[in-house]
Structure 1
Amino acid sequence: MVKITVPSGRTAWENKDFLNCDDVVLTDEDVRYALRHMRRVSWGAYDPENTDTTGCEGEAIVTFKNGKILAMGIEPNGRISTGEFYAGMKPTASPPNFYECDPCRKRKMALLKDALYRADERRLKKLVAEGQLSASEAELRLKRTRDERDKP
C-alpha cells in the first residue's frame, strides 16, 4: 500500500531559479515506478553537497505485505532516501538508505519541462532587471537552454 504523506515539499536546497517545488507533485504511480527502478548508492554519491539536487521532494509511506514499512523521500531528479520501520512505525536496525533512479528522473523531468522553462524565464528576467544582461541576450540564452534541455 502506498500513502503519499507530502505530495510536494521543499528542502533546504530549494532554488526557485532552477525549479519551483509547487510544480512538483508526487503521485502513487511515481512511487511504484521508483520501487521498480531505483538502485542503491552510497551516501557520497547521494550527498547534496556533491551532487545536483532540485530542493524539491515528495514523501510517501509504503507498507508491504510482510508488515515492513518504507518511508521514502523522492526528488523529481531520481534521488531517493529511505528509512525502514516495523508496524507501528518502530524503526528497524537498518540505517537510512540512498538511491538513484535514472528512469524516474527522465520520466518525471520530462513532465516538468514547462516548470523548468518558467524557472529559466524568472532567472533571466531577474538578470535583465538587475542590468546584468540585455533583453536580447536573455532571449538567446533562453532559446539555447530550451534547445539543450529538449535534446534526446
Structure 2
Amino acid sequence: MTKAGILLLTLFTAATTASTYAADKRYPLYSVEKIEIVDPSSRSAWEDKNFLDCSDVILTEEDVRHALKHMRRISKKSYFSEDTERTGCSGGASVTFRNGKIIVIGIEPTGRINTFEANAKLEPTAVPGSFYDCDPCRKRKMALLKDALNRADERRLKKLEAEGAIPHGEAERRLKILRADRDQP
C-alpha cells in the first residue's frame, strides 16, 4: 500500500471514529442562537451525598455547548436501564436555534441527557423526547467535579470514623489513597 493510501485509510478511520460521538444533526451547535440555563442544579430521589452533593454540580452554558457537540442518541430503554450510572444530580437549559426551534435539555454529570422540543413558553410540543449518552461530557464534568468528589469522600469517611465503623485516623489514610487514585490519569 502506498503512503497516500495509508494516509487516506487513516483519515477515513479517524473520521469514522470521530462520528461515534457526533452530535444529533437536528440540533447543530453552529445554529445555536441562545442558551439559557433554566435550572443550574437540581437533585432527585437518586441523589447520594456520599458520592456527590448536587449543590456542587452547576450546569453552565459551556456544558450545554459541549453536550450539543458530543451527545449521541440512545434508546429510551438504554437511558432508563438499571445498569446506567446515575448521580441524582442534573441541570436544565433551553436552547434556541436560528430557525426558531427550541429544545429543553437536561444534563447529568454522568453524561445522561434528555431533550424535548418546546414552544416559546417552554411547554413540550408534540415531538417526542429524545435520550442521549455523552461519554466525553461525563469525563469532562467528572474531572471538573474532582474537588466535590473529594469533599464527599471526606464527609463519608469522617462519619464512619465518628460512628466507630473504622479506627481513629483511618479516615485520613483512606482519603489520601482515594485522592491519589483520582489524580491518576
When normalised by structure 1's length, the TM-score is 0.90
Pick 1 or 2: higher relative contact order, CA cutoff 8 A, min separation 6.
1
- The match for 1:24 is 57
Deviates more, 1:104-113 or 1:114-123: 104-113
User: 2:80 maps to what in 1?
Assistant: 47
**Distance in 2 between residues matched to 1:90 and 1:126, nearest whole Å:** 43
Q: Quick check: 1:107 aligned with 2:150?
A: no
Structure 2 CA distance for aligned equivalents of residues 55 and 111 of structure 1: 17
- Is the partner of 1:19 in helix, strand or coil? coil
Amino acid at match of 2:182: R
- Deviation of the 1:138 alpha carbon: 2.5
One-letter identity of the residue aligned with 1:144: I
Aligned to 2:128: 95
- Is the Cα contact below 8 Å between 2:104 and 2:122 reproduced in 1? no
Matched, 1:76 2:125: no
**Count of matched residue positions in the alignment of Structure 1 and Structure 2:** 152
Distance 1:97 1:135, change over 3 A: farther
Cα distance change of structure 1 residues 88 and 5 upon mapping to structure 2, 3 Å threshold: closer
- Of 35, 41, 58, which aligns to 1:2? 35
Q: How does 1:136-151 map to 2 (within 5 A)?
A: 136-151=169-184
Tell me if structure 2 keeps the 8 A contact 1:4–1:28: yes
Cα distance in structure 2, aligned partners of 1:137 and 1:45: 39
Counterpart contact for 1:67–1:86, Cα < 8 Å: no
The separation in 2 between residues aligned to 1:21 and 1:31, in whole angstroms, is 17
The answer on whether the counterparts of 1:5 and 1:61 sit within 8 Å (CA) in structure 2 is yes
Counterpart code for 1:100: D
- % identity of equivalent residues: 63
Cα 1:124–1:64 change in 2 (3 A) is same
Per the normalisation by structure 2, the TM-score is 0.75
Query: Structure 1 CA distance, aligned partners of 2:98 and 2:121?
Result: 14
Which structure 2 residue ranges, 5 or more long, are not aligned? 1-33
